[in-house]
Amino acid sequence: MMRTLQADVLVIGGGATGAGVLLDLSLRGLRAILVEQSDLATGTSGRYHGLLHSGGRYVVRDAASAQECIEENVIVRHMVPHAIENTSGLFVAMPGDDPAYVEPWIKGCHAVGIPVEKIPVAEALREHPALNPALREAYRVPDASCDSFDLLHALVEGAEAHGGQALTYHRVSAIEVAGGQVKGALLEDRRRGESVRVHAPVIVNAAGPWADEVGRMAGVHIPLRLSKGIMVAMNVRWVNTILNRLDAPGDGDILVPVGTVCVIGTTSVTVPRPTDLDISPDEVTQMLDAGEVLIPGFRRARALRAWAGIRPLFDAPAISHDPGVHDEHHQVQDEEGRWITRTFSVLNHEKDGARGLFSIVGGKLTTFRLMAEKTVDQVCAHLGVSAPCTTASVELPAPEAGPYGGGRRHRGYHALPNRLAALEDAPTHTGLICECEIVTRPELEAAIEAGGAGVSLDDLRRDLRLGMGPCQGGFCAYRAAGILQEVQKLPAEDAIRALSRFVEERFRGNRPLLWGHQLRQALLDESIFRRQLGLTPPAEAASSSQEQPQETSRG
Ligand SMILES: Cc1cc2nc3c(=O)[nH]c(=O)nc-3n(C[C@H](O)[C@H](O)[C@H](O)COP(=O)(O)OP(=O)(O)OC[C@H]3O[C@@H](n4cnc5c(N)ncnc54)[C@H](O)[C@@H]3O)c2cc1C
């Protein structure tokens, strides 16, 4: 018999938006279930640039978006302190940047309330010696770096503490609508190979770049512009603050320090499908050239990994007078979608013949909480529930145990020095599995136990940062596969399959970067995996694989 579940609201999508909606619904006392087709943060939220925006990027052309960013920046820092590194940010004017941009930019910051402080060039260069000495001007803003994996785990765990439920590896295959009213959805439990029915009078479509695909299951079309952006992680943390070029937004104009690396990005190219994540060597070259403008010698560092994400930009002009739409200030667009507004819209699909279906589209990771609030306000109005939103005043603890805590033990922001200190304090030395990110055997075992049957090495990577450092899994992957086999008592073939999948996925992010030091590292990895362990060479596995990359690549 088919498993059935009952909820007041079904949320589709385990990105930042869906997880924010789940938390908000749960805090308002509604029975909510979130379903995600893969693991949490495997869509755009795990493939983003890592910047908790101050809003400075948007002040000149998209003031509404800038205002949302600065307001949410303050709230999110308080809500999930352990997911935020307070790097602050600099807007830097380099030779070639338009000097006429500076004045409207400063005015724009003042207009929306972004605190901005001019820093003497000499001071900026003293604080950040790697910065290009040709720097003309520098302004400090309250940008920060945000770990989306930690953020999402905290949101879901916070929701679960209030009765919410999250089902990963559950894909919505159909939405049931009868007489113009949503009745629920059919799910495919991808790990057990079973079908599940969820009865729910309200569905929130938070499927990001897949929102139109999900909408079509209920006969609704959502006009999205899918905008691909790429990022490249370098093995040097060149600066301890976020660098933004002080010019109109363009390609490769932001550098974000994340853990021990720096991430340069990004681009904006319209693509037809949410799975169009391929990266060409030219795109990588473009990022390295852009990095060189900020940091002379940028190219001398090793490019560790490249990945792409898809922005789900809402592409519906002239909607603001439609009463069914909460439209956060629509804006005009250019050829490549860069100037479609980065604000968001909540769509009520009652007028489309699907009463009870709401879609939340557009926005940014920085504004996920506000997006959730506006969505849940509409859901509550629809259900006649008067509970107010409280997410702006909650502080979510760092997960320490359970499915999302896994083997984590950090309380503050995840940083290598904290892990090192914890290791030194450990009463007994219990074996390092991933030396780059300092993941120990007990942590890994706890995360495997918590992940349950079917947990993949890639899931463990997202939980623990396993394999995300300079060797990209070259030395820890086979150890982790051995421990997975031991803990879950897997047949050897299953452990080898798990290892092959992980190595393939890691290799996808290396493929566009095979030159210099990175090529040497890849050859070393190849000889470990092929010659020592007899696995399919990653290059052949990756090029023969027909499957589109589903797993997140960030870091
Ligand atoms: C290159 C790039 C850089 C960016 N940088 C920044 C930045 O620095 N700062 C910032 O604030 N924002 C940034 N953004 C924007 C931000 O990342 C996105 O706006 C945000 O992550 C979108 O989150 P989401 O939850 O709406 O979508 P997603 O994270 O994509 O989540 C949607 C989820 O729905 C799931 N799903 C789809 N179909 C189904 C189905 N049928 N059944 C079940 N589940 C399903 C998917 O698997 C996916 O996990 C960036 C975006 C890109 C592309």
From 23, 33, 45, mutation site for ligand 1 pocket: most ligand atoms within 8 A of C-beta? 45
Query: Does residue 89 have its Cβ closer than 6 Å to ligand 1?
Result: no
* pLDDT at residue 542 tops 90: no
Q: How far, in Å, from the CA of 474 to the mean position of ligand 1? A: 28
Per-residue pLDDT, averaged over 107-126, amounts to 98
Which pLDDT score, from 0 to 100, does residue 548 have? Answer: 32
Question: At residue 181, what is the residue type?
Answer: Q
> Could you give phi then psi for residue 456, rounded to 5 degrees?
-100, 165
8 A C-beta contact, residue 279 and residue 328: no
Per DSSP, what are the bridge partners of residue 5?
198
Per-residue pLDDT, averaged over 396-417, amounts to 60
What is the residue with the minimal CA distance to atom 3 of ligand 1? Answer: 48
Atom of ligand 1 nearest to the CA of 229: 1
Query: Does residue 50 have its Cβ closer than 6 Å to ligand 1?
Result: yes
Which residues lie closer than 8 Å to 137 by C-beta, 6 or more apart?
92, 93, 102, 118, 121, 246
What is the residue with the minimal CA distance to atom 19 of ligand 1? Answer: 364
Whether CATH 3.50.50.60 fits 3-45+149-224+314-393: yes
428-434 contacts: CB < 8 A, separation 24 or more?
433/466, 433/476, 433/479, 433/480, 433/483, 434/464, 434/465, 434/466, 434/467, 434/469, 434/475, 434/476, 434/480
8 A C-beta contact, residue 143 and residue 244: yes
Query: Does residue 337 have its Cβ closer than 6 Å to ligand 1?
Result: no
Which residues lie closer than 8 Å to 71 by C-beta, 6 or more apart?
370
Which pLDDT score, from 0 to 100, does residue 154 have? Answer: 93
Highest mean pLDDT among 25-39, 499-513, 520-534: 25-39
Query: Does residue 38 have its Cβ closer than 6 Å to ligand 1?
Result: yes
Query: Does residue 37 have its Cβ closer than 6 Å to ligand 1?
Result: yes
Q: How far, in Å, from the CA of 293 to the mean position of ligand 1? A: 29
CA dist 484 and 487 (Å) reads: 5
Average model confidence (pLDDT) for the chain?
A: 88
Look at strands 439-440 and 432-434 and give their pairing: antiparallel
Query: Does residue 214 have its Cβ closer than 6 Å to ligand 1?
Result: yes
Q: How far, in Å, from the CA of 127 to the mean position of ligand 1? A: 34
* pLDDT at residue 233 tops 50: yes
Query: Does residue 343 have its Cβ closer than 6 Å to ligand 1?
Result: no
Query: Does residue 375 have its Cβ closer than 6 Å to ligand 1?
Result: no
Q: What pLDDT digit, counting tens, does each position of 289-346 carry?
A: 999 999 999 998 989 899 999 999 987 654 443 433 433 333 444 444 445 566 899 9
Which pLDDT score, from 0 to 100, does residue 462 have? Answer: 86
Gyration radius of the chain over CA positions:
23
Per-residue pLDDT, averaged over 348-369, amounts to 97
Query: Does residue 512 have its Cβ closer than 6 Å to ligand 1?
Result: no
What is the residue with the minimal CA distance to atom 25 of ligand 1? Answer: 15
Atom of ligand 1 nearest to the CA of 173: 41
Which pLDDT score, from 0 to 100, does residue 455 have? Answer: 92
> Which segment of 245-254, 276-285, 514-523 scores lowest on mean pLDDT?
514-523
Q: How many other CB atoms are found less than 10 A from the CB of residue 435?
A: 12
Query: Does residue 205 have its Cβ closer than 6 Å to ligand 1?
Result: no
Query: Does residue 518 have its Cβ closer than 6 Å to ligand 1?
Result: no
Which sequence spans correspond to the domains of the chain? 3-45+149-224+314-393, 84-142+227-310, 402-544
CA dist 276 and 141 (Å) reads: 34
Q: How far, in Å, from the CA of 414 to the mean position of ligand 1? A: 22
3-state secondary structure of 101: helix
Atom of ligand 1 nearest to the CA of 371: 26
Which pLDDT score, from 0 to 100, does residue 413 have? Answer: 67
Higher per-residue confidence, 241 vs 441: 241
Q: How far, in Å, from the CA of 274 to the mean position of ligand 1? A: 10
Query: Does residue 229 have its Cβ closer than 6 Å to ligand 1?
Result: yes
Q: How far, in Å, from the CA of 550 to the mean position of ligand 1? A: 13
Structure pTM? 0.90
For the domain 84-142+227-310, what is the CATH superfamily, name and number? Answer: D-Amino Acid Oxidase, subunit A, domain 2 (3.30.9.10)
